[in-house]
């Protein structure tokens, strides 16, 4: 799934004029997508700066190509939301391990990201 940034929002949803994470007009590849129980949609992408993938509101983007990567699966949360993304990333605690520098999580992330970017 390819997205183009159309506006910038703060983490609280307020409009902002600049961001070190995103640039208006730039295209990004969605690495995963989540819908919470309230219907809010967020996407995980590799941001312009930062140590790894970050989560943003889909409201900041327009969809350029809605094709879903072949390695995406749907995982339903106990709270009623769901995530579309690689199965390895949906395991409990995956993102905590990844950002804590766990080598197995890092390898799983790189492997699945390469599949998405193909």
pLDDT at residue number 82: 96
What are the sequence ranges of the domains in the chain?
2-117
Ordered mean pLDDT values, 10 residues apiece, the chain (118 residues): 96 90 96 95 90 92 96 93 96 95 97 94
pLDDT at residue number 49: 82
Question: CB neighbours (10 Å) of residue 5?
Answer: 20
pLDDT at residue number 12: 86
Q: Could you please report the per-residue DSSP string of the chain?
A: -EEEE---B-TTS-B-S--SS--TT-EEE-SEEEE-TT--EEEEEE-SSSSSEEEEEGGGEEEEE-PPPTTEEEEE-TTS-EEEEEGGGGSTTHHHHHHTT-HHHHHHHHHHHHHHH-
């Amino acid at each position: 799934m390819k997205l183009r940034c159309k506006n910038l929002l703060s983490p609280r949803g307020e409009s902002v004029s600049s961001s070190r994470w995103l640039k208006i007009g730039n295209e990004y590849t969605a690495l995963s997508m989540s819908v919470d129980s309230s219907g809010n949609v967020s996407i995980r992408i590799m941001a312009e700066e930062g140590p790894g993938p970050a989560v943003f509101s889909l409201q900041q983007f327009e969809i350029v190509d809605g094709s879903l990567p072949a390695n995406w699966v749907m995982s339903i949360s106990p709270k009623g939301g769901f995530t579309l993304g690689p199965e390895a990333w949906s395991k409990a605690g995956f993102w905590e391990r990844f950002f804590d520098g766990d080598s197995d999580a890092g390898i799983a992330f790189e492997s699945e990201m390469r599949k998405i970017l193909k």
